Amino acid sequence: MKDIMNAPFLVEMVRTTTNMYAHGWDERNGGNISWMLDEAQAAEYLDVNAVIRDIPTGFEAPALDGKYFIVTGTGKYFKNVQYDPACNLGVIRITDEGKNAQLLWGFTDGGKFTSEFPAHMMSHAARLSVDPANRIVMHCHPANLLAMTYVHDLDSRAFTRTLWQMCTECVVVFPEGVNVLPWMLCGTNEIGEATAEQMKTARLVVWSQHGIYGAGKDLDETFGLIETAEKAAEIYMKIAHLPRVNTITDEQLHLMEGRFGIKAREGWLD
């Protein structure tokens, strides 16, 4: 059996959590990532029959029964993952129609998965229903997107249109737009269910006054989605108090559709 410390999924998780902390997106223990693995991936590095302990999930997700995940731990600091991956990360298998998680590796201090685990798992199930290539759910606290939720209309279409107008690449990177939720109590099944519903139509969901959820096929794609939206929000926050002399028009965004073979969300461009 191969050394799990050399597993590509573990190496990538360490690299990404370190990078996210360096970007200032994951202060203290803020933020979390879950990555759905193929059983064959896990079995190369782990004895999938050796269950360390069971961890109740507190929700149901039948669509994920038998799925494997590497996930960040509750109360863990992203800045520490690179120094002790086995304490700060865990590999689990979902069982009992989502009601239980079997720990196969990690959380060596007796910890467990992130408190946002319900939102992650419900979002995975939602994304799989529309995109079987989905593998990643990523949550973090980018400062400019948070700031934008204090001063901008929280209507998803209006919020998206502003982001699209800030940077030419935005409509290409997230043509389906960004869905926005009002402030909700975090770590609950309710916010998990609301996020999952929004994940059916977009890969980015903003939690007002809190952070953002992103989904994608791999860590690079998901990181890039959030990075692009955050850059657009940064530009907006720098100019929001100024008269706008120029902007990217809907006509120009339609030109981008033709040039890059993408289609902006139906009805969100004039």
User: Are the CB atoms for 217 and 133 separated by under 8 Å?
Assistant: yes
Which contiguous run of DSSP H or E holds residue 213? strand 211-216
SS3 at position 106: strand
Pair 34, 136: CB distance under 8 Å: yes
> Residue 178's beta-bridge partner residues?
204
In whole angstroms, what is the distance from residue 9 CA to residue 125 CA? Answer: 20
Options 27, 97, 116, 169, the catalytic residue: 116
97 is catalytic: no
- b/e per residue 182-206 (b: at least 16 CB within 10 A): eebeeebeebbbbbbebbeebbbbb
CB contact burial 29-61 (16+ within 10 A = b; e otherwise): bbbbbbbbbeeebbbebbebeeeeeebebebbb
Give 211's strand partners.
Answer: 207
Active site residues: 116
